[in-house]
Structure 1
Amino acid sequence: MSLRPPLTRRTVVITLAAGLAGCATPRPRLPGEAAWSGRLALRVDSTPSQAFSALFDLRGSATQGELQLSSALGQTLATVRWSTQGAELQRGNETTRRDSLDALTTELSGAPLPVLAMFDWLQGRDAQAGGWRVDLSAHANGRLVARREQPLPSAELRLVFEQP
């Protein structure tokens, strides 16, 4: 006869989530490397409309960097890397390569995403990015919202981030 209380479904889920989150530690930051982590939500008003949310880890610069997207449980969903030679997306064992980050993000979401401008935005600087307008009024609270009306499809990107 066991003296341990039976495991409830909630206990199992919490234990599993904690274990998976512990496995998703981002790589250490290199000296002088810009890095931000947080949550992002993207909505693209295409037909059909698309919505996506994930944890993010952004490192590097506009010329060379990496954006890792993870689930709430810490499982890596995708990693995007770029340099002057092009961009690639890694999802599991599948890799997609394109000539530019804009071409890659357009293919994935239906709209070029302002990944390179995010480096300025996350530092509290307004930067132009292909029709995107950023609202930095809540930057000091670790939040920003960017919207794109033109060219279509319109889109909205929301970031909640930790200050470095």
Structure 2
Amino acid sequence: MTQAVSRRLLLAAGLGATAWLVGCSTPPRSTADAGSQFWSGRMALQLQDDSVLNSNGPQSFSASFELRGSPQAGSLQLFTPLGSSVALISWQPGSALLQQGQTQRTSASLDELVRDTLGTHIPVPALFAWLQGQNQAADGWSVDLERYADGRIAATRHSPTPAASLRLILDR
């Protein structure tokens, strides 16, 4: 009788351990996510427009960000330091959508919505390459990937004006 009880306890313990391990496992990514990429971190953008009279110096913007997808289809979400969403830009071939609070705006141009949101043009296809450590050329922009291994990327635009400096610090 004690042998039957100990077998049941052993079986119950084995089933419990199996259930625990299965509960801790990560489900496989769906095929829809298989080609998708994800980055998060902080960004700082500084614009220097010397042509503006009575300027108070450079304009700057900083936010936390989450970037998903690819240059063809994806999303960029910007957050305040307290974690509130400032803007969500999502795109697919031929259309882009900007959501800011309750306001939504659509455009055929991702570049237009990025420019209107950040105050300047950011080369989104090059941004995806830079985040992968690739030095992809973008008109007027140069990228410094020297600290890429530390999760830091710096890019500078000298033309067209205004000059811009983009700094990214990736979450690890």
Q: Is the 1:70–1:77 contact (alpha carbons within 8 Å) kept by the matching residues of 2?
A: yes
Distance 1:75 1:107, change over 3 A: closer
Structure 2 residue aligned with 1:38, among 3, 20, 41? 41
Q: Does 1:144 align with 2:153?
A: yes
Which contiguous aligned blocks of 4+ residues in structure 1 show a shift greater than 4 angstroms? none
Using structure 1 for the length normalisation, give the TM-score: 0.76
Other-structure match for 2:88: 79
Per-residue deviation, residues 92-118 of structure 1 (Å, max 9, x unmatched): 011122221212222334421122211
Unaligned 5+ segments in structure 2 are 1-28
Q: Which structure shows the higher helix fraction?
A: 2
Work out the CA distance in 1 between the residues paired with 2:162 and 2:75. 25
Q: Is the 1:50–1:109 contact (alpha carbons within 8 Å) kept by the matching residues of 2?
A: no
Q: Give the drift of 1:37.
A: 0.5
Q: Does 1:90 align with 2:93?
A: no
Other-structure match for 2:166: 157
Q: Is the 1:81–1:87 contact (alpha carbons within 8 Å) kept by the matching residues of 2?
A: yes
Q: Is the 1:39–1:160 contact (alpha carbons within 8 Å) kept by the matching residues of 2?
A: yes
Using structure 2 for the length normalisation, give the TM-score: 0.73
Work out the CA distance in 2 between the residues paired with 1:130 and 1:147. 11
Work out the CA distance in 1 between the residues paired with 2:63 and 2:118. 14
Work out the CA distance in 2 between the residues paired with 1:71 and 1:97. 23
Other-structure match for 1:61: 70
Unaligned 5+ segments in structure 1 are 1-27
| Number of aligned residues | 136
Amino acid at match of 2:102: N
Q: Which structure has the larger Rg over C-alpha atoms?
A: 2
Q: Give the drift of 1:162.
A: 2.8
Per-residue deviation, residues 102-148 of structure 1 (Å, max 9, x unmatched): 12222334421122211100110011222111000000000010000
Over the matched positions of the two proteins, sequence identity in percent amounts to 43
Q: SS of the counterpart of 1:129?
A: coil
Q: Is the 2:89–2:113 contact (alpha carbons within 8 Å) kept by the matching residues of 1?
A: no
